[in-house]
């Protein structure tokens, strides 16, 4: 019986392009060669799909090392040079001709985690790992996530939304409304980006216009959100109809908050698995993670992020990531490993869940 052919989709058009390459490299190294045949598909920043030697050359890069020793701009230029004049490797979107059985999208952020690529794969009848179109789109939008969570009785931080088109046309009303409602410090963040891209912790009202300008340039909708004083705790969830939750893990940021630099460049954050909280709170977090997963219609996998407020002990949902990172410092694979599921088994389980869902 021939191996199952797995299309590993990585790169993409989002600002998390390079992180996707790092995650893909980790997954590629843990696909069981006795069961699966790897078919890398690299999506460039300008949306071109590459297979063959070009895709494998990008997959083989030490992207984590490159980001630490050179600027992002230089890395982007290097990736562009690798795809120039490589028309022979452009993917034709004939999934059937290439005999692809299942796709593993590891595309973080927009055009990957937001339902767009999931819809494309469904159009071609290709099973894929992770959540469906609807759940992907809903969880990508932090505003919609909070609305659904509140309907399910899950606590969220106090927040308000700003439409970027309105703010950029006339900043004063949004600045006034936010200033009346929140006391610094509070956060301003794009509604639909991940990896803390575009997030600002506003310490004084003088910083608010700059924070809004940055976020509104990146997304059509922006959130202003109360800063929660408490522990940052994450739970990995795995499964379709009967999901399981991992042991919770805690992040102690190395900077003012757990931003892009802290996650992927400086690596100064401290991770604690299990989280430094008592077992009763750990069990409550696992329960809330499953509730949130089901309320948003997730399947396959998700990382559910919470705060445990210092003053009250209250569990507050932060966000849901349906395509979490698989880098060496990513919490999702570490949490699953601590729960007893190593990376090779985890990749296999995700592929089997994708095939199972396609038969349902």
Render pLDDT for 127-179 as a digit per residue (tens, 0 to 9). 999 999 999 999 999 999 999 999 999 999 999 999 999 999 999 999 999 99
Predicted TM-score of the model (pTM): 0.92
pLDDT of residue 358: 73
pLDDT of residue 96: 78
pLDDT of residue 263: 52
pLDDT of residue 194: 64
Is a pLDDT exceeding 70 seen at residue 255? no
CATH number of the structural domain 4-128 = 3.40.50.20
pLDDT of residue 60: 96
77 falls in which pLDDT band (50, 70, 90)?
very high
Note the pLDDT tens digit of each residue in 88-132.
899 988 887 788 999 999 999 889 999 999 999 999 999 999 999
Angle between helices 52-59 and 72-83 (to 10 degrees): 160
What does the alpha-carbon distance between residue 29 and residue 38 come to, in Å, rounded to a whole number? 10
Which positions ≥6 away from 320 have C-beta within 8 Å? 139, 145, 292, 293, 296, 298, 302, 303, 304, 305
269 falls in which pLDDT band (50, 70, 90)?
confident
Bridging pattern class, strands 249-252 and 244-245: unpaired
> At CA 139, angle to CA 327 and CA 266, rounded to 5?
30
Fold of the domain built from segment(s) 139-156+229-359: D-amino Acid Aminotransferase; Chain A, domain 1 (3.30.470)
Identify the CATH assignment for 159-226 out of 3.90.180.10, 1.20.1300.10, 3.30.1490.20, 3.30.70.2340.
Answer: 3.30.1490.20
pLDDT of residue 221: 95
Task: Write down the mean pLDDT value for the chain.
Answer: 93
What does the alpha-carbon distance between residue 215 and residue 188 come to, in Å, rounded to a whole number? 7
Is a pLDDT exceeding 80 seen at residue 225? yes
pLDDT of residue 109: 87
Is a pLDDT exceeding 90 seen at residue 215? yes
pLDDT of residue 22: 96
What does the alpha-carbon distance between residue 172 and residue 206 come to, in Å, rounded to a whole number? 13
Is a pLDDT exceeding 70 seen at residue 340? yes
1 falls in which pLDDT band (50, 70, 90)?
low
pLDDT of residue 75: 94
φ/ψ of residue 175, rounded to 5: -60, -40
Is a pLDDT exceeding 60 seen at residue 355? yes
Give residue for tokens 């997730």. Answer: 298
- Give the 3-state secondary structure of residue 251: strand
How many CA atoms are closer than 13 Å to the CA of 14, on its beta-carbon side? 26
Q: What is the percent of the chain with per-residue pLDDT over 70, rounded to a whole number?
A: 95
Q: Which two tokens stand for residue 249?
A: 């893990």
Secondary structure letter of residue 32 according to DSSP: -
**pLDDT: which is higher, 197 or 344:** 344
Q: Which two tokens stand for residue 315?
A: 């569990």
Bridging pattern class, strands 230-239 and 300-309: antiparallel
Domain ranges of the chain: 4-128, 139-156+229-359, 159-226
The answer to whether 324 touches 331, Cβ cutoff 8 Å, is yes
Burial class (CB in 10 A: 0-12, 13-18, 19+), 94: exposed
What does the alpha-carbon distance between residue 99 and residue 275 come to, in Å, rounded to a whole number? 44
pLDDT of residue 360: 59
Flag the least confident range among 32-46, 83-97, 281-295.
83-97
pLDDT of residue 104: 98
Is a pLDDT exceeding 80 seen at residue 258? no
Q: What is the mean pLDDT of residues 328-356?
A: 96
**pLDDT: which is higher, 261 or 120:** 120
How many CA atoms are closer than 13 Å to the CA of 84, on its beta-carbon side? 6
């Amino acid at each position: 019986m021939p191996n199952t052919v797995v299309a590993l989709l990585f790169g993409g058009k989002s600002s998390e392009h390079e992180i996707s390459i790092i995650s893909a490299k980790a997954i590629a190294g843990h696909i069981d060669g006795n069961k699966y045949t790897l078919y890398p598909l690299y999506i460039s920043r300008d949306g071109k799909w590459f297979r063959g030697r070009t895709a494998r050359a990008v997959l083989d890069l030490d992207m984590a090392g490159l980001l630490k020793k050179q600027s992002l701009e230089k890395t982007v230029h290097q990736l562009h040079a690798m795809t120039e004049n490589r028309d022979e490797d452009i993917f034709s979107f004939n999934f059937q001709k290439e005999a692809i059985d299942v796709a593993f999208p590891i595309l973080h952020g927009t055009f990957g985690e937001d339902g767009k690529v999931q819809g494309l794969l469904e159009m071609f009848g290709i099973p894929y790992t992770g959540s469906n179109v609807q759940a992907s789109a809903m969880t990508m939008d932090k505003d919609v996530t909070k609305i659904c969570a509140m309907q399910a009785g899950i606590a969220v931080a106090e927040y308000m939304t700003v439409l970027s088109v309105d703010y950029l046309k006339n900043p004063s009303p949004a600045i006034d409304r936010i200033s009346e409602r929140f006391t610094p410090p509070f956060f301003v963040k794009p509604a639909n980006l991940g990896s803390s891209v575009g997030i600002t912790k506003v310490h004084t009202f003088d910083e608010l216009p700059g924070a809004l300008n940055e976020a509104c340039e990146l997304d059509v909708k922006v959130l202003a959100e109360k800063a929660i004083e408490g522990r940052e705790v994450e739970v990995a969830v795995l499964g379709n109809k009967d999901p399981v939750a991992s042991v919770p893990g805690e992040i102690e940021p190395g900077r003012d908050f757990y931003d892009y630099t802290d996650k992927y460049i400086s690596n100064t954050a401290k991770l604690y698995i299990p989280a430094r909280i008592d077992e009763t709170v750990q069990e409550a977090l696992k329960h809330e993670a499953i509730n949130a997963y089901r309320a948003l219609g997730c399947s396959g996998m998700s990382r559910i992020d919470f705060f445990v407020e210092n003053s009250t002990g209250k569990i507050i949902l932060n966000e849901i990531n349906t395509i979490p990172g698989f880098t060496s410092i990513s919490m999702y694979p570490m949490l699953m490993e601590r729960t007893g599921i190593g990376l090779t088994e985890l990749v296999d389980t995700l592929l089997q869940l994708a095939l199972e869902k396609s038969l349902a």
